[in-house]
Amino acid sequence: MDEFPLSAQFTVLAVLLVCSAFFSMSETAMMASNRIRLRHLAQEGHGGARLAVALLGKTDQLLGVILLGNTLVNAIAAMLTGHIALQVFGREKWALEAGALFVTFCLLVFSEITPKVAGATYPDWLAVRIGYVLTPLLRVAYPVVWLVNLFVQPLLSLLHLQPKPGHESSRLSAEELRSVVLESGHFIPQQHRSILLNLFELEQLTVADIMTPRGEIESVDIAAPIEDIKVQLATSFHTRVAVFENDPANIVGVLHQRRLLAEAFAGEIDHATLRERMSEPYFIPAATPIYTQLQFFRENRQRMGLVVDEYGEIEGLVTLEDIIEELVGKFTTRQSDFGGSLSWNDDGVALADGAASLRELNRLLDLEFPVDGPRTLNGLIVEHLQDIPEVGVGLRVAGVPMEIVQTQDRKIKMVRLHRPAGE
């Protein structure tokens, strides 16, 4: 090597440092790349993505060719640096030490830290391009990589670190997927992101969490005078109305008002007609998951069901629209709905309906009301006081100061909430 001029040796050393930087960057970029995105690009016909996916499917071979190249290049660079140091400084004792320090510095700065940071910063952009270089390199170096892996595999087995089949594929848990959706603000519109997040929340909900409480169910008494029933049906906001006989807990059927149109125009509505047009009530256990109930609605061609507890007592009513609203947001007008606009004012006060869902209040006001008992603010207050409070009564539940503003028919209509201290 003495016949090579010193400038040529420095040029070769620079090339070796660049090659080492490439291998270091390749290792970081390939391992940090988004495999889901690469598979998507590969399915769309991107050649570089296909090569990257194929390489990531054989992690042992991929790392083998990268580390083989990196180790070989670094070893040659170290020997060349020692030779250059001897040429420049002669046979001085400190010449080799100086050369070792120099090559270590160069490798650390130019071939390790800088390229690895670049690879970690732009992994997806680099991965689809690096594949064009690593794939032919792997083909050329395959015999050596295969030989090295003959020793690697038994060692991994001995240490109980043998990779499992399919380890190269990314499997995300529900919470990890939820985090991905939360961090996708620049790619998914807010409305679509809200729907996806609602899907994750539905996994934990039952029909009891979204039902209309029994006290708010609009129903008619089949035993009442027919004129009273007609007035009630004429002013109803719903197409389906629960029908009871004498006792509101004794639901005998569900009346679809559109089925009464012909009789209504002919003026022939009577008790017999109502009983004839009624359908059998559909009962749902309170602990039924929402996803399961959605499937039941489809299989049984139902749109409304009565929620019952383990003793068969009616707790409330749930409709297909209630489930859809949990996905896409409120689109109906109920007394208890506040359209997602409830918030603290400048004084830290919010005026909430007593029939408001505790889950909605927790979400909109960032509170921590318990949701394993009563479902509404009215139920929570009554359970806490063991009585129907009068207007002006103040109390604190779950750290939230509140004041009763309005009551009606033994129910709390409006409550003034105060932001908890320290928030």
CB 200 within 8 A of CB 178: yes
Residue 290 belongs to a domain with what CATH number?
A: 3.10.580.10
**Do 15 and 116 fall within a single domain?**
yes
Could you tell me the two tokens for 278? 């009624």
Residue 184 resides in a domain: no
Supply the angle between the helices 190-202 and 320-328 in degrees, to the nearest 10: 130
| 64 vs 88, residue with greater confidence | 64
- Pair 322, 357 in one domain: no
168 lies in a domain?
A: no
Check whether residue 311 and residue 354 sit in a common domain: no
Domain holding 270, by residue range, is 209-328
Pair (218, 275) in one structural domain: yes
343 in a domain, yes or no? no
Do residues 121 and 48 lie in contact, with contact meaning Cβ atoms separated by under 8 Å?
A: no
Identify whether residues 287 and 355 lie together within a single domain: no
- Residue 173 — pLDDT band, cuts 50, 70, 90? low
Whether residues 258 and 396 share a domain: the answer is no
What CATH number has the domain bearing residue 371?
3.30.465.10
Among 121, 137, 158, where does a domain finish? 158
* SS3 at position 94: coil
Q: Please check whether residues 357 and 290 belong to one and the same domain.
A: no
**Averaged pLDDT score across all residues of the chain:** 80
Q: Residues 15, 150: one domain?
A: yes
- Taking the C-alpha atoms of residue 279 and residue 374, their distance in angstroms, rounded to an integer, is 30
Same domain, 59 and 139: yes
- Cβ-in-10-Å burial (0-12, 13-18, 19+) of 349 comes to middle
User: Are 143 and 20 found together in one domain?
Assistant: yes
**Type and span of the H or E element at 270:** none
Q: What is the dihedral angle through the alpha carbons of 47, 52, 55, 60, rounded to the nearest 10 degrees?
A: 170
319 near 254, Cβ under 8 Å?
Answer: no
Q: What is the DSSP letter of 44?
A: T
User: How far is CA 139 from each of CA 24, 132, 144, 168, 200, rounded to the nearest angstrom?
Assistant: 19, 12, 10, 20, 44
How many structural domains comprise the chain?
A: 3
Question: Residues of 129-164 as b/e, b for ≥16 C-beta within 10 angstroms?
Answer: ebbeebbebbeebeeebeebeeeeeeeeeeeeeeee
Q: Is residue 95 one of the residues assigned to a domain?
A: yes
The pLDDT-based confidence of 249 (bands split at 50, 70, 90) is confident
Q: How far apart are CA 321 and CA 326, in angstroms?
A: 9
Answer whether residue 333 shows pLDDT above 50: no
The pLDDT of residue 375 is 78
High-pLDDT (> 70) share of the chain, %? 84
Same domain, 367 and 311: no
- Single residue among 98, 126, 158 that ends a domain in this structure: 158
Q: Are 263 and 276 in contact (CB under 8 A)?
A: no
Tokens representing residue 132 in the block: 């064009």
* 318 plus 358 within the same structural domain: no
